[in-house]
């Protein structure tokens, strides 16, 4: 499935604060922890707990969120389907980055080992 310009614009405007509680609920419901979630987010973005709190408090959009991130050099190794989209086929950079995060949260919730989630060599 190919993203549309409207879809990409919608993704850019979503606030991290609006989805973050859902990420926590999703992973905790499956027996994972908020600390593990933060570890995964830190791996992808470089954000520590204080920066995550700051971005949440200021209701940063995903556009701002990923503009400030230092994406992990191995992020391109995140592949597969999430929300009906094959990540490696997404052309819009920001939409791809949001889907990277979604995929990591999904893998965490599914019980994957941390070294697999973090694409350890």
pLDDT in tens, 41-99: 999 999 999 999 999 999 999 999 999 999 999 999 999 999 899 999 999 999 999 99
pLDDT in tens, 90-121: 999 999 999 999 999 999 999 999 999 999 75
CA 110 to chain CA centroid, Å, is 15
Contact partners, residue 60, CB within 8 Å, separation at least 6: 15, 16, 17, 68
Q: Pick one of 3.90.1150.10, 1.10.8.290, 1.20.1740.10, 3.30.70.270 as the CATH number of 5-117.
A: 1.10.8.290
Helix-strand-coil split of the chain, %, nearest 5: 65, 5, 30
Give me the pLDDT at residue 120, please: 77
- Domain spans of the chain, in order of start: 5-117
Give me the pLDDT at residue 2, please: 83
């Amino acid at each position: 499935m190919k993203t549309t310009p409207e879809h990409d614009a919608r993704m850019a405007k979503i606030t991290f604060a609006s989805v973050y509680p859902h990420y926590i609920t999703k992973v905790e419901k499956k027996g994972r922890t908020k600390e593990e979630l933060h570890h995964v987010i830190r791996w992808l973005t470089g954000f520590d707990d204080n920066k995550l709190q700051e971005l949440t408090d200021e209701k940063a959009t995903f556009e701002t969120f990923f503009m400030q991130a230092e994406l992990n050099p191995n992020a391109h190794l995140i592949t597969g389907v999430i929300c009906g989209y094959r990540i490696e086929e997404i052309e819009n950079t920001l939409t791809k980055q949001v889907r990277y995060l979604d995929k990591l949260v999904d893998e965490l919730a599914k019980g994957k080992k941390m070294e697999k989630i973090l694409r350890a060599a």
